[in-house]
Each structure stands twice: as C-alpha cells, then as structure tokens.
Amino acid sequence: MRAPQNREAVVRAIEAAGVVAVVRLQSATAGHAVAAALADGGVSAIEITMTVPGAVALIEELSASAPPNVIIGAGTVLDAKTARLVIAAGARFVVSPVFKPDILTACRREDVPAMPGCFSPTEILAAWEAGADVVKVFPATVLGPAFFKDMRGPLPHIRLMPTGGVTTANAGDWIRAGAVAIGVGTALVDPSLVAQGRFEAIADNARHFVHAVQQARASMSPAGVRT
C-alpha cells in the first residue's frame, strides 16, 4: 500500500494506524534501523524530531527509502521556516510542542497535516479553529486520560492525540477516553535499546503498542463508548 500524499488522506492513515512514534536520537546514525524496526512492528507513522542531529537530512533519506506504507513526519517544529524546510525534505506531517498559527498556515499551503501542541481547552479550541488537523495534547502526563474523556463532552469534534507519559499499560485508556491516536516516545524507542543496537526489541515494543490500540478499539462501540 502506497503512503497517502494529500493532507486528508494522511490524517486518515494516522488515525487508522493509531500510533505515532516520536523518535529522539542522540545521532542520526541509527535512524534507518529504528525506522525499519518500527515499521516491522506495525507502526507506520514515524515522527523524526528536530532535536535529532541532522534531522532534515534523515527525514529526506527516510522519505525516499521507507516502505511504501510508512509515513515520515517531523516533530519539535518551532517555526514556519522549519516547517517549510521539513516539508521540502519530504515530511508528510508536522508536529509541534506548541501552537503557532504561522506553522499551521505554512502546512496548509503545502497540503500537509499540522499537529500543534496544546494544553488547555481554550488553546485546543483555538488551534482547531486555526486549522489544526490533530491537536497534540502535551504534556499529556500531567492531564491523564480523564482529561480526554471530559473534553469529548463539549468538544467531541476535535481530534486529540496525547504525547508524554503514554505507555503500553495506559495506551488503551487514552484510546477509550477519546484519543484518535497516541504519540509515543521513549516507551517505544528506548534510548538504551538504540545504544545497544537491540532493534528487534523496538519492533516488539511497536507490536505491543499497536496491539493495545487495537484491543482498546475493539472494546468500544461504533459511537466510541466502551462496551
């Protein structure tokens, strides 16, 4: 299956996948092996953060070489200039830890999904109305799944994705609470596993997260209510 190319198709693919891998590395050297392990484990949405040395070049390389169903995106994007740079390198979605309207504008001009980071209900709604495709709730560690459940009451139409504090133990809780997908960092791409070259263990982590999302969705009714 070919990776989707337009904004709406990418968003649908990320929702369907349910897991976005947040990749932070000390060096880009292991980037290809990490991406391959994630794809092998069933995680098809891979976010390369701008904190990785040589992140733009790595995004360009992975975009050209990743399996056809894998979507490579960019994370920790802090300004519109960087958004345009990573999109030109091949990023199919752009994630930020903060909400900056000019990043959303740059992404929409290139037909690329934007996922700004927000924390409060006011900020979440403002980002959605400004054109966010998915709102990254960050740091989700502080809020917990109950926050997502509460948000579904007044704002059921907004796509929310937690990042920060997501583990295999609570992954299903986020989905059942209303998250359209989960963003997972070190619990998925453990720096110690990367340092040891244990990429099969990363693939196993990916399988566990994918399974947790699938199980949570299977336990819900079509209306999104736990059965």
State the pLDDT at residue 223.
54
pLDDT in tens, 100-146: 999 999 999 999 999 999 999 999 999 999 999 999 999 999 999 99
Residues 132-189: tens digit of each pLDDT: 999 999 999 999 999 999 999 999 999 999 999 999 999 999 999 999 999 999 999 9
Task: Calculate the CA 129 to chain-centre distance.
Answer: 20
User: 53-60: which pairs have CB atoms within 8 A and are 24 or more residues apart?
Assistant: 53/25, 53/26, 53/27, 53/28, 54/28, 55/28, 55/86, 56/85, 56/86, 56/89, 57/28, 57/89, 58/28, 58/31, 59/86, 59/89, 59/90, 59/91, 60/89, 60/90
* Closest to 38 measured CA to CA, from 67, 80, 76: 67
User: How large a percentage of the chain has pLDDT more than 90?
Assistant: 94
Catalytic residue among 8, 47, 61, 110: 47
Please, what is the average pLDDT of the chain? 95
Domain locations in the chain as residue ranges: 7-218
State yes or no: pLDDT of 38 exceeds 60: yes
pLDDT at 212 (0 to 100): 98
Q: What is the pLDDT of residue 5?
A: 76
Give the architecture (CATH level 2) of 7-218. Alpha-Beta Barrel (3.20)
Under DSSP, the state recorded for 201 is H
Q: Which of 8, 129, 136, 200 is catalytic?
A: 136
Of 7, 160, 47, 91, nearest to 83 (Cα)? 91
The enclosing H or E element of 192 equals helix 191-196
Backbone angles phi, psi at 174, to 5 degrees: -65, -45
- Residue whose C-alpha is closest to residue 81's, from 96, 70, 71, 62: 96
Please say if the pLDDT value at position 1 is more than 70. Answer: no
Confidence (pTM): 0.94
Which of these ranges, 45-59, 152-166, 192-206, 210-224, has the smallest mean pLDDT?
210-224
pLDDT at position 154 = 96
The question of whether 136 is a catalytic residue gets the answer yes
Which band of pLDDT confidence, cut at 50, 70 and 90, is reported for residue 2?
Answer: low
The mean pLDDT value for 71-88 works out to 98
Mean pLDDT value of segment 25-49: 97
The amino acid occupying position 82 is: T
pLDDT at 227 over 50: no
